[in-house]
Structure 1
Amino acid sequence: MSGETESLLTQIAKDVVDEAVPLTVLLRKCLMLGAEAGSEKLREWATRELNGYVGAKTLPEYRQIAALMELHITNRYGHNGLTQRLQPSVLPKEIFKDVDIEIAMMAQGIGELEAMASNGEQQFRLSPTWASVIVAYLNKAHVDENSVVAAAYWVVPKASIQGMLSRIRTTLVELVAELVAQTPRDQAAPDKVTADEAVRQIVVNGDYSTITLQQSGDGGSITAVTASGADPTAIGSQTAGGDATIGKGLTVRGDKNTVAGRDASAPKEAEKEGWWKGTRKRGILITIATVIAAAVAVFAWMGWTPWG
């Protein structure tokens, strides 16, 4: 690479290792570099990173991060809310076998992710598009008549978002390093073949699945079907003092993340004893058993054996 004016590739190579240079700036330069090289793959990747992966059939592996999924549960009037971790074992395997509910698909644009990483909040509540399927299933089959699952969402720590941004920068460093290594010194920009091949080698995409809801005409049975290539975009995040949409008609407000906008009507009666009710009953039984065991131990220590 030569010439009186510093080439775009040289600029990117210098800036990519500087943490003070935002990823948004670097990716915009990559977009221009793709145009210079005639590489549609490089331009497409840079555009996806900048604008997000909404509607994409694949998502880079570095954008898939581990996160717990929680439920917001209220009474049937939308009050007395509490949070409960959703255990994957509660969901039917035949429906959710292709979806790992504890892997958050971070499809937002880089600008939004960088804003979240610098936000004062320490964690964010993000809802996948198929959250409504989980909510409908749990309300139909696993919640007692006095409770309502109002929302399901991933709880994503800010540290995880920061780590993901670091992986994106590392991916960009590897990509630029490959372009520099494969571009002749007397050439300002890589050629199309070189740029396309670098993107193919460095950026590893993974398929993901989404879930669509199917309900019988009489409103009775609820089933779900998994399908790949849809859009599991995280659509809401809780920021300091702001509002964030979590699913249709549900809004998270303030630092406590209480859910507003619930209908006051009671849900349909569960077909069997609910998971929530069963959990509460098991908790009571365990408590009683613990008290009895403690009493027996005290009696034995005192030497009193009424059962002898």
Structure 2
Amino acid sequence: MTKLTEIIDAASDDAFTTSNLLRKVQTVAFRLQAENLGKWAQRELFGYKEGEPVPTYRGPFPTPVIGTWSGPGGSQLTNAVSAAGIPEDFLSACFRTTVLQPVADLELLSSSEKNPSMSWDPYTVQEYARLVAEKKGGAGFYMMELISAKQTLPQNAIRGIIDSVRTTALQLALELERVSPRAGEPDGPTTADPEVKLVTNNFNFTINGDGNNVAAGSDIRQRATVNKGDIDSLVRAAIELGLKPEAVEDLQAAVLADGPRPGDQTSKFLSQLRTGGYALASGVSSNLAAEGILQAVGAFFGVPAA
């Protein structure tokens, strides 16, 4: 049984923990020399740092906020805190959340009967009350004061993250198996193989969404956006990445010949580009151009590689 088969089986078996699944992905990433894939698995295992870019499936999510108001005679009222009209910065910080915890923690939370919640600090409670008083957003209750509030993350959001991680690993393994069944084995191919490289590069496009900025290294200053299925944007990116007209025409012909997914014609073009088979703009190396085109082609095809 290959490592890819192990990942496919584990991702399809709910009895297999997501942490163990990710450790298999780490092994494959190391053997493929796929740094971006290895970093993803490690961050999912150990959690993301505050301010660090996260995959789209980790948020930000809208989070319901439940508040407690105090009124005359010691009366209290518990109700939803309104986000209507709240300024964007306050809304982003207090009514949305991005989930950074390791998947092992998320699996524990998903088994709980209660939605996890986090209390607003006293300053945030006072700031919300000020916005309501100054009619700058939110809502209050007559003769009552907000004294506490809790921001809640629904269980379905947590389960959705876990499911996305498992599906990502499954799709990656299936795509690698399609282009090279020995990928991930000790004596198997690495990212030096153009098809394997394309799959692992497209991993970033899959977890971060379609339509990505493409940069091809320190020697190439241009930046281009390639949209899924948009041949014109791919052509523009190829020109900005240093390809001459003949190479651009061949690239366009290759991707169109391969159809909805990268295939033999695209791989042949990339191999020829990497080995110096095309004239490039001054100051652009074949390797840098090939790296940029790999990313651009991946964005064009939107390969579900991870």
TM-score band, normalised by shorter chain: 0.5 to 0.7
Alignment CA distance shift 1:68-1:178 (3 Å): same
Distance 1:105 1:166 in 2: 16
Q: Is the 8 A contact 1:13 1:176 kept in 2?
A: yes
Q: CA deviation at 1:113?
A: 0.6
Tell me which residue corresponds to 1:151. Answer: 149
**Match for residue 176 of structure 2 among 174, 179, 204:** 179
- Name the structure where strand makes up a greater proportion of residues: 1
RMSD: 3.4
TM-score when normalising by structure 2: 0.53
Alignment CA distance shift 1:102-1:180 (3 Å): farther
Tell me which residue corresponds to 1:196. Answer: 200
Tell me which residue corresponds to 1:248. Answer: none
Tell me which residue corresponds to 2:288. Answer: none
Q: CA deviation at 1:197?
A: 1.2
Q: Is the 8 A contact 2:125 2:149 kept in 1?
A: yes
- Name the structure where helix makes up a greater proportion of residues: 2
**Match for residue 64 of structure 2 among 61, 68, 87:** 68
1:89 aligns with 2:84: yes
Look up the SS of the partner of 1:70 in the other structure.
strand
Distance 2:183 2:28 in 1: 16
Across the two proteins, how many residue pairs are aligned to each other? Answer: 194
Q: Percent identity?
A: 23
Tell me which residue corresponds to 1:34. Answer: 29
Q: Is the 8 A contact 1:69 1:86 kept in 2?
A: yes
Larger Rg: 1
The runs of 5 or more residues in structure 1 that have no matched partner are 1-5, 207-308
Dislocated runs of 4+, deviation >6 Å: 143-146
Q: Is the 8 A contact 1:49 1:109 kept in 2?
A: yes
Cα deviation 1:117-147 (Å, max 9, x = unaligned): 112x23221468xx66642412444369973
**Match for residue 3 of structure 2 among 8, 13, 31:** 8
Distance 1:8 1:35 in 2: 12
**Match for residue 105 of structure 2 among 112, 129, 134:** 112
The runs of 5 or more residues in structure 2 that have no matched partner are 134-141, 192-196, 211-306
Distance 1:118 1:10 in 2: 28
Alignment CA distance shift 1:31-1:74 (3 Å): farther
Which amino acid in the other structure matches residue 10 of structure 1?
A: T
Q: Is the 8 A contact 2:65 2:149 kept in 1?
A: no
Distance 2:183 2:101 in 1: 38
Look up the SS of the partner of 1:21 in the other structure.
coil
